[in-house]
Structures are given as structure tokens and as C-alpha cells.
Structure 1
Amino acid sequence: MVMFLKGMGPLLLFFILGLWLVSPSLTQENDRERHFLTQHFDFKPKGRNDKYCEKIMRQRGLTQPCKDVNTFIHGDYPSIKAVCGDKAGNPYREGRFRISKSPFQVTTCHHHGGSPRPPCKYRATPAFRYIVIACEHGLPVHLEHTIMAN
């Protein structure tokens, strides 16, 4: 074991130094981006009906309690991230938000039923909509809302 650690010394030191140099704000931004992706990103949905909503809301941990409304964006990640830049997005309301220049395929899941406790029942509304997102340092971190495409 000592021989293993001795041989790993420079690598281990480099790893520890790398962890120390990672900015806490960068880590926090990555956490916010990860949260956004968990709640709103599903590249290739299997169906876009009520069963889809019930399954994905449960899988993503959005049913403790039942979340009232949640929208999943079905574009590829680079296209969603690009909305944070000028090529695929424009400033929207006070510059904090960005609106996509092109609509995305989305599914909005609406909770229906009396209880906020599982099992949660959802109705799916598939559509093509423009997305309005908040970005931090070029990363999507919040889905504000969507706007119907004409």
C-alpha cells in the first residue's frame, strides 16, 4: 500500500491542488446547471403523454410533494446552452433572461388530482415553444417560462 501511495504522490498532490483551485462559485454554478438539467432536460423522450409525465416526474424526484407544473425541453444540450449566447438567444426582460430564437419541442406536465402526495397524476401537453431561461456564465440555470410558437 505504501508503495502504491508513494508512486501516486505527484498525481495525488496534483488532484488535491486541483480541488483547492476550483472556485466555489464555479461549483455552485455547476450545481445550479445540474439542477436545471434534472428538472427541465430530456433529450429523447419515450412518448409525450400522461404516462410519460408521471414516470419522468417520479424519476426526477419531483413528486415529494407533487410539483404542480414542470416543463421538459427536448432539444439537445448544446442547443439549449446556446440560448445563453447571441447566436441562439436574445436578451429578454431586463437582460437577466434569454429567449430562444427558435422554438423547442417541449412537454409540460400539469398535476391534476386533489392530494399533493404521491401517487401523483399528471397531464401532458406537448408543444413547440420558445424557452425563456436564466443563464450564469454561459450556463442555463433556470427555466422561467415558455412562449407558444406561432
Structure 2
Amino acid sequence: MAFDLPPIAKAAERLLVEIEQAVRAFPRCHKYVIGKDLREQAMLVVRLCHRAWRDRSQQARWTAELVWAIDELRLTVQLGSRIKAFRSFAQFEQLIRLVEDLGRQAGGWKRQQQQHLKGQNPAREAAPERAQILSTCAASTGANA
């Protein structure tokens, strides 16, 4: 199947490669715990990007999951920095910038889909109108007497 990936999927794949290279350089004590989590979370982000791109009928669902997965990955990268798992602060900084860029793209994609959904059926979002009163003034006073 030949198709052009959107920029967000390419960015997710690049992030996965960078995380893989960073984890290879982790000290042994971090490689098999936080390193494993980083690898799995980055792979999940790539998979969700591809699902959101290819499964158009469920795109809003996959995009929402993608936003959460990126947020969780960001938290894990930050934790890795706090426990000094990365080779240097520069390596952490490079990864966190990639994660934040990916998060901005996913957030924009999600907002775009929400606007698209709202635009398809604006009547659904509108408040229901009040029913018209068809009685006359005389009918109202007669009922109250």
C-alpha cells in the first residue's frame, strides 16, 4: 500500500527512532524499566498516528487517544530527566522538543476534527427553540377565572 504519510506520522516515527537511540545509551539500571516504558509509549504514539490517518470513520476517537498517549509520553520523558536517565540535558531537551511539537500537531488535528464535526450538523448543537403559543389572550383569561 503506497500512501504519503501526514507530517504528524513522520514526526512520530522520527521521535520513536530518537527515543530508541537514547534508550540504547541509558545506564543498565534505567534501560529495562523507564527505557522499556519510553519505547512502548513511543510505539503506541506511532500506531495511533497511523490508525488516525487510515481509519477515517474512527478518526476522532484515534486522535483523542493520540493526544493522551503523547501527553503520557511527555510525562515519562520528563521523569527520565529527573532520574538522570539521559546521557545529557541536551539529549533530553531534543526529545522533549520533539514530543511537544508532536503534541501541538495532534492538538491541532483534534481541534480541526472537532470543528469539522460541528460544521456538519450545526442544528444538533443549537439550543431547542421554545414552542409557539397558539392560544389567545381571551383563552388564557377564561382558564384562569
Q: TM-score normalised by the shorter chain: which range applies?
A: under 0.3
Which protein shows a greater Rg? 2
> Which structure has greater strand proportion?
1
Task: State the TM-score, normalized to the length of structure 2.
Answer: 0.26
**Larger helix fraction of residues:** 2
**Could you state the TM-score of these two structures normalised by the residue count of structure 1?**
0.26
